[in-house]
Amino acid sequence: CAGTYGTPPILMRSGIGPADHLGSVGVPVRVDLRGVGANLADHPEVEINCGYRGAVRSAPLLHSVATFHSSAAASGSPPDLMLWMPEPVALDEGTRVFEIDVLLLKPRSRGTVRLRSADPADPPRIDLPNVREAVDVDVLAEGFRRAQEVANRPEIRRLCADPPSPQIADDDELRRFVRTNVYSIPHVVGTCSMGPSSDDGAVVDALGRVHGTEHLFVVDASMMPTVPSGFTHIPTIMIAERLSEQIGALP
């Protein structure tokens, strides 16, 4: 239950993980599970600053969220883009920000969590997914265009002193902007993925039991095989409530 970054290192130091990686850091292999620490997914994001210079409130902050399908999304699939608009905030004296955050909800890109050494005091090496898959750049760029439309709506313009930034018309320039400016919203999942068979990269079964073990369970966001089309906190709680009941009822 140590989370998407914390659970794989505990398993790997205990000898449960990809055999070649464990060998490279001198950990004896107990269960060769290639999925441990693989499949790291998050919500990559870029943002538009709407150019707001007006008054701000300190609290409560209201957030508007809209999810929708990109042109690349399969019909019947969950939404793969989100526009997230927190109300204007003051970053510091004189700096007001009203942003539209564009989140890629169903990224293809994947990263990893690996050990630096067998020493538990060494933090893991986290290789974020970023937008290494070209399709993720294209979908996030499409989301950015939708955010530009919203930022240029008269309802927003009448509140904002400056034009939205960045102003990007050229598609190649937009792809470069996405690659350079994307950052990780830490809705991280996937590094101890749930699935029926470890042959497919799964780490835990439907109860959270680690494949190849008998009494070892993982219950946290790391077991989500793909990142949800929304924020991850409540799904994690739902998983924990459901599995704690089921595991508690085991003989």
Ligand X SMILES: Cc1cc2nc3c(=O)[nH]c(=O)nc-3n(C[C@H](O)[C@H](O)[C@H](O)COP(=O)(O)OP(=O)(O)OC[C@H]3O[C@@H](n4cnc5c(N)ncnc54)[C@H](O)[C@@H]3O)c2cc1C
Contacts with ligand X: how many residues (CB under 6 A)?
15
- Cβ closest to ligand X, residue 55 vs residue 121: 121
Q: Which residue type, as a one-letter code, is found at position 40?
A: L
Least distance between ligand X and beta carbon 198 (Å): 21
Cα-trace Rg, the chain: 21
- Cβ closest to ligand X, residue 234 vs residue 238: 234
Helices and strands (H and E) in the chain: how many = 6, 11
- Cβ closest to ligand X, residue 72 vs residue 185: 185
- Contact set for ligand X, span 202-231 (CB under 6 A): 220-221, 231
At 115, give phi and psi (nearest 5°): -80, 145
Residue 215 among the catalytic residues: no
DSSP per residue, 47-101? EEE----S---SSPPPEEEEEE--TTSPTTSPP-EEEEEEPPEEEETTEEE-EEE
- Cβ closest to ligand X, residue 141 vs residue 227: 227
- Contact set for ligand X, span 100-139 (CB under 6 A): none
Q: Do the bridges between strand 89-92 and strand 95-97 make them parallel or antiparallel, or are there none, so unpaired?
A: antiparallel
User: How many Å apart are CA 64 and CA 18, to the nearest integer?
Assistant: 42
Max intra-chain CA distance, the chain: 65
Q: Of 43, 69, 187, 211, which residue is the catalytic one?
A: 187
- Contact set for ligand X, span 49-78 (CB under 6 A): none
At 101, give phi and psi (nearest 5°): -90, 135
Least distance between ligand X and beta carbon 120 (Å): 7
- Cβ closest to ligand X, residue 1 vs residue 156: 1
3-state secondary structure 117-171: CCCCCCCCEEECCCCCCHHHHHHHHHHHHHHHHHHCCHHHHCCCCCCCECCCCCH
Question: Considering the rule CB under 6 A, would residue 15 count as an interface residue with ligand X?
Answer: no
Out of 187, 190, 209, 225, the residue judged to bind ligand X by CB under 6 A? 187
> Going residue by residue from 147 to 186, which x/- string records binding to ligand X, judged by CB under 6 A?
---------------------------------------x
Question: Considering the rule CB under 6 A, would residue 3 count as an interface residue with ligand X?
Answer: yes
Residues that bind ligand X (CB under 6 A): 1-4, 6, 10, 186-187, 220-221, 231-234, 236
The set of catalytic residues is: 187
